[in-house]
Every structure is written in structure tokens, then in C-alpha cells.
Structure 1
């Protein structure tokens, strides 16, 4: 059987092949009409019709390359935030009738942009009104060259490891052979996504802003943090996206889009190390190289079930890394395992010296908590955190943490906010003034606040920051502070601006503690709530980065 229904070519596109339908069994009445109506609703972005096309059930399923949506509510929310679907024409339709009230439809579509997509749907006739609706859908889009929400530049690899580069140069110069043996580095075989703030030789730094990227020159050298990974045997797969000038913890980017959350479909990825985090969570690479100013490694690690380390302030040189707020900017990494995170940190930090930072040192597994931090958590995160502590104490894994008073957390956050914003404006204000409208409204508003900070306000905040740092060091006394890495699981992409602002403020109240203290912090994927994973954060003493990862790994065991 063949027909041409639903095969109208989009304007400006060449006409597709006539629709070919292959049918196993007699087609029940109304099924083809329902299929065609669904395709028409997609083309028209008819949200009401699209919502009605799926069974209104918590068991409805829709899956694609970004994951699985469960339930009519989640599927409808996805439709609402996606906007107009890419124009496409159905060119093949294969129907397998299961019975008079159910059929499997597999269709092949031709997008106007090229390629072929495949959609598999289980249609069922409603016993209540006789209407055909989709119970299960699996969507396979045409394979992209690469996902530009995650990546800005990708290679195969983009930059080989130092050993591979040396071997290739030797072969070219006739000084070696492919059989030459060399001692593998500790990261041999690992691949890296580099946040678009680090200098990668021969490539420009874009900072998540296309107009900024267009004005930059290629970097002549690798950043030391990049070079350290290459020297340890890792290769750079590509340069990954970041929030605009890294001034966010959401992961949204008005120019490139929001990188997908690798474990919670329909949720934000977390930022500003958003691209590297998604690349690691989705299995594109094994290591994400990023920065953490106010939580930009810990938050995406928390939202996507990853291991993340924010290093002691200054322990990794930030040469050739685009700054945001140098008082708080740090380098760090994301991985899918504690063992690899430890190997990456060791490869970079061993032998590193910085005058203001002690060498790596052991850390005692002595824990503290501040109960007042729990007030900003969502109920689910609070229960998960308390449940983890209770189970760990009962099992003998840890002793009961001592309770401490870190001080006025709102005051700490305000100090952090004022200094961060002031330094962000000093870093990028001149460029922003020369490029009005280049940034998303929420990011622009944060820079505008930085512009408004007076020299006297900044000076007073810096004086108070030193007082609070000394207070934190005295209260923590080389012990490890335990707290959630974020105030909630990853928010939905459909959350309102007010909801995003509330979650952001609550989360920064937690993450700013390590920033104010200049302390290392590990996010370990050890908590879980119905909405997704949440990290357990361990904030340790300065210079205890490697030991802190080992302690976190022991808790995971």
C-alpha cells in the first residue's frame, strides 16, 4: 500500500520521495488520521494538540538521544520549552497492527536540514473516547556532526597528548619508528573537554559569547592546566561551552543553548562548566577541565551525578585562563569516578608550588556540620543529606560530625557577591560597554551590579573578607565540612526566572563558603532525591586537595 498523505515538502525544500506505507494487518479506523494529525501539530507547534496526542498517563514514555521522559506531564513540559520542531516530511511509514486497539508505527522522516530521522511509536485506542494516542515514542534524530550546545570545537582529537605529538614529530623527522616504546603517563588513553576559558594553542577563547570570540586571536600557548593534562598522557577532544563569561551556575547560554543534562532529561546542566560536565556525563570524554568561582564545577557535578574538585585557591596556576573574579577563581576537574578524579588531580598538583598555598598534605577524616546550612535546602535534599549522615554513623563509616557555627551565611554570601561582581566588571566591563546587548538579560544584570559597586564598598568588603576567612579557618580547624553541593536537584528547563533566582541564591549560600575561605571542595555523587542526583560536598583545609578526594572516595565505598 502507498499513499502521499503527510509528504508535503517544506517551503524552499526539494520534494521528498512519495510516502511509502507498509502495513501488517488491516489498519484500524482512525489510526492513519491520528498519525497525520500529530505530524501536522508538530509542524504548526500546536501545543494543545501535541499534549492531547500522548496518553494522559504517568506511564507515557518519550525517549530520544538526551534520555527518557516519563509521564504525560514531563512530555508536555518538554514540548512547551522546545518551541517549533524542525521542519520535516515523512517519507516512510511501517505499521504493525497488534490488535484492534494497538499498533506499532515506525516512520522515517526527511528534515529540511538534511539527513533522515526515525520515530517509533506505540499507538493505542482509548477505551473512553475511541481516540488514538501515543503511549510510547522513541525518537532518533539525524546524527549531528557534533552537539553545539556542548562543544564549540571538536577534533579527533583536537590536541594529541604530548607523547603522541612527540612520537608523530619523531616519525616525520625520521628519528623514530611506530614501534618505539615509551612509558605511558598516568592519564594515557583519557580524553578531555576543555572549558572555553582556557588557552589551547592555535585556538581562540570564546567565553560563551560569539561576538567576543570573533574578536580574539588564536592562543600561542596552552594554559598550564591544559599542558599538565597533555603531559600526563591525556588528549584534548575539544573545547566545550560555558555560560556567558562564566557568570552563572545554571548552564544556560542565550547564543549556543543549554547543554543537555546527561542524567536528568529536561533539566538544566548546571554551570558555568556546563559543556565539559555534559560531555563527561554523556560519555563523550572522561575528564572535564573547568573553573570554579562560585560553584561552577560543584554545581554541574551535583546536577549530573559526577565527581568534581574545586582546588585550593592558587594551587593551580591560572595563567592563560580568562578571569571572572580572580579572588575566587580556581581550576578543577569533573570525572565519572573518584579514582580518575584522584589521578587527574595528582598528575596536575604533584610538584606544583605556589607561594601562598601549602604543598599537598594529609587530611584527617574528622567531620563537622553547620545545622543552619540546612534551612536553605529543598526538603528532599535535606532528608537525603541527613539520611546519608545517619546511615554512615550507624554503619561505623564515620563518627558523628561535630556541630559548628560558621557565622552569618547571608553575610558571607553578600561579601562574596560584592567582590565577585566588582571583579567581574573590572575583568570585562570595558568590552561589555562597547558591545551593548551582547549578553543574556540575567548575566547582563549581574555585570550591571558589578558596575554599581563603589571603590569604598569593595574595599570594605575585602577587609571583612579577610576577617571571615580567619574565622572559617579557626572554626573548621583543619576538619572537613560536610554539606550538600547544591540546594536542590537540577531544576527543570521550564522553571520560571523567579524559581531560578531562588535556587541560585540558596545554592550560592552553600558554595560560597569554599570560595570565601579559598578552600578545596569535592562534590561526590552520593545523594539522591526523586528529581535526580545531588552531590555531597566535602570542604577541606588548604592544600588538602588530594587527601580530600581520597576521603570522599572512602565515603562512596
Structure 2
């Protein structure tokens, strides 16, 4: 210690440790200086402002109890002090916490904190199983050295599919061979380093799982990662993998890509084999990939897409006002600013046309109903036989799905075919530009109602690619309130590789 030990400081520190051990959210919030300038950082990122810190605390189940191994206090005048505490978690390992305390009218409070804890060898919220590698790739291929995180819907030789549910995993059997989408990457030289977590049965876009936990979002500390490809997305964003192999039914690649500042591709429906992939809604399910760079995404796509079926596409762009207005106002503003910037920079070679699409509510309801009917057909028997095993959000969706009768499904299937034709006519071979999600990543502490509202708004935007069977890219480049937001491109069927090339060009315009 340097200087005289400030009165009451150690008592405040001990009270804080007691509140932490008890996971007393209200008491913990009171230990941080209120306002927008308070800081808390750890390996997953920096939280700015007391509200963000309180929200992060509220979303955590608690921390491992710890003892204090050593305590160092450095007084800074009479109103501030620096505390560095070396702690010993009862589970093992060691950690260091550095705190700047300030004397306020409410007593001693923390103004800034940095937490350094023992990192787990494997984060179970991200990974179900890992290896070094799990499956090695062929030598000398175009993807040599690339580390792949495989979403837990794909068959991986020697392992059962878990679908984000431990009971489903226990009832499964190990695959004798890997899914074609996995073997394509292995054949190109990539190695599978692990099977990554998914939202249960991929029936969510939030990124939460009551069994394995919520993976971190390194770009938005305290924010949801996006799902259902939450595990592969987090692994790629954290640098634990280079490529995520995933699926997208209603936005399960594009939403986590948007939330975490990644590149993501939903492929044209039917362009990549779904063999060995657990279905959700086969009329909409697609295979795709997540990466930190467009170049790797192109290389990955080229391993599975048949070049003879890939079509060129003209650089003609459209915007649908109804889709943009479905997003939150700050997202609308960021999107309009980006389009204006790309137009002024000459990256959109022709004027962007404004088009109208049938009421989004009708399209979304049609998509939602058919998706649910197929989800129940895929998994209803298992869900009925295993009551109480699903998280509340996924359980509610299957409950809705169970009520759809044959006549209702048939009516909406007719609507779906008509909607597809109308979308083809409205787009007319042009590229649709829109925000990749209706918002940036919601806070983990957001209420169920808030998350459901964001989900419905986002799905009303992302479902168009599913209805049309179109490829869709989510590319990083927009920022709202410091958080990443994807710019989405939706192109004609089988224009996947051409769409990626166009997106890479637009990315240069947004970076310049």
C-alpha cells in the first residue's frame, strides 16, 4: 500500500466480494459509480456505463466462489484508490481483479474494473466437443490449415448429432461417415477442430440455450450472439476457428454474422447437399458458412457449390422500403447512410430502384406457418416423447407448430408458391439490399418479450430469402451505437459466388 489506507475502503471491498458470492444483483449494481462512464472489462470485451454492467450481471447465473490470495491497495489522493486483488477460485486456477475505487456521496464505489480469470480449456457454451483436430483434412488443399467449427446438426464421423439438446444427444448414435458438406471441406484441406453448440433444434435466432448456456459475443460484450448458429459464430469471432459450417433456415447464419461483425452466406436452396444434416424445415433449410473475411468465405463456398450451376448476375440493386422500415430507427438511419455512401462512391453503378413487396405480415405468417408445420413433422414425435426437455422459447414454438392442421398448412403452401412467383417478378434478377437484422445484438438481460419482438421483426426481413430459395450474404460494414450490423444482399437463385463478389466490392466502398 502507498499512502494512508482510506477509511471504509476495505470494508466496501469485502462487502462487494460478499455480494458477488451471493450473486446479489441489486447490491452489485450499487457498488458501481452510476452513469455512462463506468467501465468493466474482461477477456470478452469492455462494458461501458453502469447500465450495461448491471445488465451483464443480471444475465449471469453467478460466479465461482473465490478466496483472496493477496490484496494490494494504492491510495490516489484522498478520493480514489487502486485495488489489485489476486484471487483463488475454489474450482482451481487463479485470477486477478484490478479496480479503481472512488469516494462518492453513496460511499466507496467502483469507477473502473478489469477482470482476468483463468480461461476454461473449452467453453461449453461454444463447443460440445473439440479435438486437435477432431478430423484432419487432406494435405495440400485450397483450405489447408483452415480450422472449422461444425454446427451440431451435421453428422461428423464418430460422433452423434446433439441438436443443442442433451437428451437428444443421449438418444443418438455415432455417425459412421460425415455429412457431404463436412467431407467437402475436409477434402479441400480444412480440419474440423470441434462440434459447436446450436440453439435447440435450430429453432431460434437469439443464440441462447438453457442447457449449454449462451455463447459470448466478443463484439458486443453483454449482448446475445445470435442463433441458431451461435456456437460456430462465436468460435469464429473469437478466433478459435477460422470457418463455421452452419445452416440457415430463417436467418440462422445471417443474424449471428450481423450481430458479431462476420461474413455469412446462406446458399441457394438445394445448391449444397443437406445429406447428413438434421432438418428443421426442409422447404427452407440451407447449408452455409461464417468467416471473418470474404476471401475465406468464397473459398469455402467453392468447395461445395457446383460451378456449372452457378450463374452470373448483373450489378443492379433494389431496396424495399417496407423491409427497411421493419428495422429499428437507428438501423434504418445507418442503412440509408451506407447506401448513400456507396452511391456517391460509385460502388452502386446504377441508380438503386425502390420496389414494393406484398405486406410483410402476410409473407411472414405464411413462412412461419409452413416452417412450423415442417418442424413439427421433423421433430414432433420426439418432442411429445420427451416432455420438459426443451427451453421455454423453443417449447412455445413447437407448441404452436403442433396446432397447425393439414388444411391450414395446405392453404399456406399455396400462398407460399404464389409469394415466390411475386418475389421473382418484383426483384426481376436484381440484388435486394437490406439490413441483415432489425437491430444490433440485444442485451442478454433483455426480457423474453423484447427478444420475441426483435425476432419477429428480423424474421419478417430474413424470411424472404427462404421463401424465394435465394442466396443471401450478410457482410460487415454498418455500425449502430458502436455495435456491428450486417448489410445483406439477396440475389437470384444460384448466383451465390457472383453475389459474394459483389459484396466484396461493396465492402471496399464501406471501408474507404
Identify which range, 31-40 or 194-203, moves more after superposition. 31-40
Name the SS for the 2:171 alignment partner.
coil
Question: Is the contact made by 1:489 and 1:531 (CA closer than 8 Å) also made in structure 2?
Answer: no
Supply the distance in 1 between the matched residues of 2:423 and 2:264 (Cα, whole angstroms): 22
Distance in 2, Cα, partners of 1:45 & 1:394? 52
User: Is 1:489 aligned to residue 446 of structure 2?
Assistant: no
Q: Does 1:275 align with 2:231?
A: yes
More off after superposition, 467-476 vs 284-293 = 467-476
Aligned to 1:252: 208
Q: Determine the structure 2 residue equivalent to 1:145.
A: 121
Aligned residue for 1:199, secondary structure, equals coil
Q: Secondary structure at the match of 1:206?
A: coil
| Residue of structure 1 in register with 2:193 after alignment | 237
The aligned counterpart of 1:381 is 331
Q: 1:535 aligns with which of 486, 495, 504?
A: 486
Shift of 1:553: 0.5
3-state SS of paired residue (1:346):
helix
Once the two structures are superposed, the pairs formed by residues 212-231 of structure 1 within 5 Å of their partners are: 212-231=168-187
Within 5 Å, which residues of 2 pair with 1:55-454? Answer: 55-126=33-104, 128=105, 131-163=107-139, 184-351=140-307, 359-398=309-348, 399-454=350-405
Q: Secondary structure at the match of 2:227?
A: coil
Alpha-carbon deviation of 1:49?
A: 2.4
Equivalent-residue separation in structure 2 for 1:374 and 1:397 (angstroms): 20
Deviation at 1:487, TM superposition (A): 0.6
Contact 1:486 1:535 in 2 (8 A): yes
Give the secondary structure class of the aligned counterpart of 2:67. strand
- 1:28 to partner: Cα distance: 2.0
Return 333-342 or 460-469, whichever deviates more: 460-469
The separation in 2 between residues aligned to 1:275 and 1:123, in whole angstroms, is 36
Contact 1:124–1:133 (CA<8 Å) still a contact in 2?
Answer: yes
Tell me whether 149-158 or 117-126 shows the greater mean CA deviation. 117-126
Q: CA RMSD in A?
A: 1.3
Aligned residues: 507
Q: Is the 8 A contact 1:490 1:531 kept in 2?
A: no
Q: Distance in 2 between matches of 1:255 and 1:543?
A: 37
Separation (CA, whole Å) in 1 of partners of 2:187 and 2:333: 43
**Structure 1 residue 535, shift from structure 2 partner:** 0.8
8 Å CA contact 2:224–2:443 kept in 1: the answer is yes
Cα deviation, residue 545, structure 1: 0.2
The question of whether the paired residues in 1 share the 8 Å contact of 2:312 and 2:495 is answered with yes
Distance across 2 between alignment mates of 1:73 and 1:269: 19
- TM-score, normalised relative to structure 1: 0.89
* CA distance in 2: counterparts of 1:375 and 1:403, whole angstroms: 13
2:431–2:491 Cα contact (<8 Å) kept: yes
1:512 aligns with 2:512: no
Tell me how far 1:436 sits from its aligned partner: 0.2
Superposition deviation, residue 37 in structure 1: 1.3
Contact 2:205–2:227 (CA under 8 A) maintained in structure 1 = yes
Counterpart of 1:27 in structure 2 is 5
What is the rounded CA distance, in whole Å, between the counterparts of 1:381 and 1:434 in structure 2?
42
Looking at structure 2, the residues matched to 279 and 138 of structure 1 have their Cα atoms a distance apart, in angstroms, of 23
Which whole-Å CA distance do the structure 1 matches of 2:165 and 2:393 have between them? 14
Equivalent in the alignment of 1:180? none
Q: TM-score, normalised by structure 2?
A: 0.97
Instruction: Give CA deviations for 1:482-525 in whole Å, capped at 9, x if unaligned.
Output: 11111111111111111111111110000000000000000011
CA distance in structure 2 between the partners assigned to 1:545 and 1:310 by the alignment: 8
CA displacement at 1:260 relative to structure 2: 0.8
Structure 1: which 4+ aligned runs deviate by more than 6 Å? Answer: none
